[in-house]
Amino acid sequence: MHDTTALLIELGAVILGLGLIGRFAGRIGLSPIPLYLLAGLAFGHGGLLPLDASEDFVAVGAEIGVILLLLLLGLEYSASELVTSLRTQYPSGAVDFVLNATPGAAAALLLGWGPVAAVALAGVTWISSSGVIAKVLTDLGRLGNRETPVILGVLVIEDLSMAVYLPLLTALLAGVGLAGGSITLLIALGTVGLVLYVALRHGRLISRAVSSDNPEMLLLVVLGLTVLVAGIAQQLQVSAAVGAFLVGIALSGEVAEGARKLLTPLRDLFAAVFFVFFGLSTDPAAIPPVLLPALLLAVATALTKILTGWYAARRAGIGPRGRLRAGGALVARGEFSIVIAGLAVATEPRIGPIATAYVLILVVLGPLTARWTEPAVGRLRGALRRKPGPRADPPPGHEEIAEASEAGARTT
């Protein structure tokens, strides 16, 4: 009875605290992710007030949070959209991987953590935060900009790549040999290919089988199916997160829209619990020693993301200012970097502190680079080219006309 009472008190305090933190973050225009991580650090082992009674419950909630994060991500995309993005954006995806995974892998090797940690930290620095970036684009009113489809295309490639990367990482962390890892990778590739094929050919039949006019029934069926598939995927060492992502891809149309509306509040709740749990599992005393490497890594990968956006937007025929906006928007890291670090931290606990510090830096820096990269570079160029004497400001619409002219010249 005493344990149950303590559990309810701690859990209630955690959820109430998350709600207040989320409201505060919304008031100041900041993503709540860094505040959730700080809350976890405050109440974890070595923090101000450790949580003992509710730790197991929060761990289960964190697993559900990861599953719901990937399910909702899968619901955002149809199989046809994923295939189209693969065909048109794969060069940008390859450049994105090389530029942004390499610094993480190199940092792990320089710190002497070994090849498995290098693969994990490469993933942490590679994957941008789809959630943070989507919110920033909405807040800045850029959803209709010419560079926005390019940004979304890069994010789609990254998210789909996780369906291959996460099973490979899971196998490496489990100590599986080359043969076992190859089998796991083949299972993952076969599963992804099969799901895409079924979703393309028979997606309507699957959605019709799951569909229900009763919101309660739809919620229960979609959530139950997702957790079941995630558990089976985990058993096959393909990763529960990937299983949830594939379920989201397989559902489309009105079913996907209805499930998204019903599950979004649950996703937000359990995702917040997940970020708190990651903070709980990280000792705050371990962060100061890695703060400088995390800062250097954050600055390096912020620049490589800007280069990624520049390259991807240039391939699409977008002008220099749009390329800078695309690069600045891709800088933010968040939920998926923490998912990867959360998988690795049990085998390589040293990744936890540096991943926490790294995400804290870039989840705050990302919205700033999205807003200021293009204006800052424009002002710098203006200062370098400025000559004595008055200079008239360009007329309204000058940027759009210039970019359209450049795109026309490329087409010609």
Tokens representing residue 80 in the block: 């046809």
Quote the pLDDT of residue 125. 95
Q: Which residues of 335-357 are buried (b: 16+ CB within 10 A; e: fewer)?
A: bbbbbbbbbbbeebebbbbbbbb
Summary mean pLDDT of the chain: 81
Quote the pLDDT of residue 109. 93
Ranges 50-59, 256-265, 269-278, 318-327: which has the least confidence? 50-59
Average pLDDT over residues 258-269: 87
pLDDT at 339 over 50: yes
Q: In the chain, pLDDT over 90 holds for what percent of residues?
A: 18
Quote the pLDDT of residue 50. 66
Higher pLDDT, 151 or 274: 151
pLDDT at 350 over 80: yes
Neighbouring CB atoms inside 10 A of 214's CB total: 9
The domain defined by 31-50+60-381 carries CATH number 1.20.1530.20: yes
11-63 confidence digits (pLDDT tens): 888 888 888 988 888 888 777 878 888 888 887 665 666 666 566 777 788 88
Quote the pLDDT of residue 406. 46
Tokens representing residue 21 in the block: 């933190």
Q: Which residues contact 62 (CB under 8 A, 6 or more apart)?
A: 270, 273, 274, 276, 277, 278, 342
pLDDT at 380 over 90: no
Quote the pLDDT of residue 46. 59
Using CA atoms, how far apart are residues 16 and 10, in angstroms rounded to an integer? Answer: 10
140-195 confidence digits (pLDDT tens): 888 788 888 888 888 888 877 887 788 788 778 877 665 666 776 777 777 777 77
What is the pLDDT confidence band of residue 2, given thresholds at 50, 70 and 90? Answer: low
91-109 confidence digits (pLDDT tens): 999 999 999 999 999 999 9
Domain borders along the chain are: 31-50+60-381
Quote the pLDDT of residue 34. 81
Quote the pLDDT of residue 388. 55
298-325 confidence digits (pLDDT tens): 999 999 999 999 999 999 889 999 999 9
What is the pLDDT confidence band of residue 405, given thresholds at 50, 70 and 90? Answer: very low
Q: If 0-12 CB within 10 Å is exposed, 13-18 middle and 19+ buried, where does residue 365 land? A: middle
Average pLDDT over residues 236-264: 80
Quote the pLDDT of residue 178. 55
207-249 confidence digits (pLDDT tens): 788 888 888 888 899 999 889 988 887 777 666 777 788 788 8
The pTM is what? 0.74
What is the pLDDT confidence band of residue 411, given thresholds at 50, 70 and 90? Answer: very low
Quote the pLDDT of residue 233. 78
